[in-house]
């Protein structure tokens, strides 16, 4: 006999929940670095220029791509939650989940092409 928690872990809504929570946590961890960069911009032009040179590193560029995908995933996950709360439940929600994930990844890819 399968337990209820195991069956729910395979449901697409569960994975949408996990992606939304994980993206929120990772974005929260990013914020101190963002505030540090803003503080450097206020501190001096030289410090900002040094930070901008550092941001040209390929690993940082890859991190920016991941950040944009996380932002898009968090946005689409939040919109999904609003839809679940305020709209009637339908059988099409799996398609909506897939579309939200595709949009999140597509936004990240567009950013990647634009940054290259």
Instruction: Check residue 1 and give its pLDDT.
Output: 45
Instruction: Check residue 6 and give its pLDDT.
Output: 60
- Look at residue 3 and give its three-state secondary structure: coil
Any idea what the Cα angle at residue 115 is, between residues 113 and 116, rounded to 5°?
65
CA distance 11 to 2: 14
Instruction: Check residue 65 and give its pLDDT.
Output: 86
Whether the predicted model's global pTM rises above the 0.75 cut? no
Instruction: Check residue 116 and give its pLDDT.
Output: 61
pLDDT along the chain (116 residues), means of 10: 58 81 89 85 86 87 86 85 76 75 83 74
Q: Give the CATH number of the domain where residue 65 resides.
A: 1.20.1300.10
Q: Which residue range forms the structural domain that includes residue 36?
A: 4-115
Instruction: Check residue 8 and give its pLDDT.
Output: 63
User: 11 — alpha (psi -120 to 50), left (phi > 0) or beta?
Assistant: beta
Neighbours of 29 (CB within 10 A): 9
Tally of domains in the chain: 1
């Amino acid at each position: 006999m399968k337990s209820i928690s195991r069956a729910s872990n395979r449901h697409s809504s569960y994975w949408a929940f996990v992606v939304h929570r994980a993206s929120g946590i990772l974005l929260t961890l990013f914020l101190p670095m963002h505030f540090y960069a803003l503080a450097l911009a206020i501190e001096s032009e030289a410090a900002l220029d040094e930070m901008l040179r550092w941001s040209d590193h390929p690993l940082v560029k890859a991190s920016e791509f991941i950040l944009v995908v996380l932002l898009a995933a968090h946005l689409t996950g939040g919109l999904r939650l609003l839809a679940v709360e305020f709209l009637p439940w339908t059988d099409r929600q799996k398609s909506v989940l897939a579309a939200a994930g595709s949009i999140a990844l597509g936004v990240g890819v567009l950013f990647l092409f634009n940054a290259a």
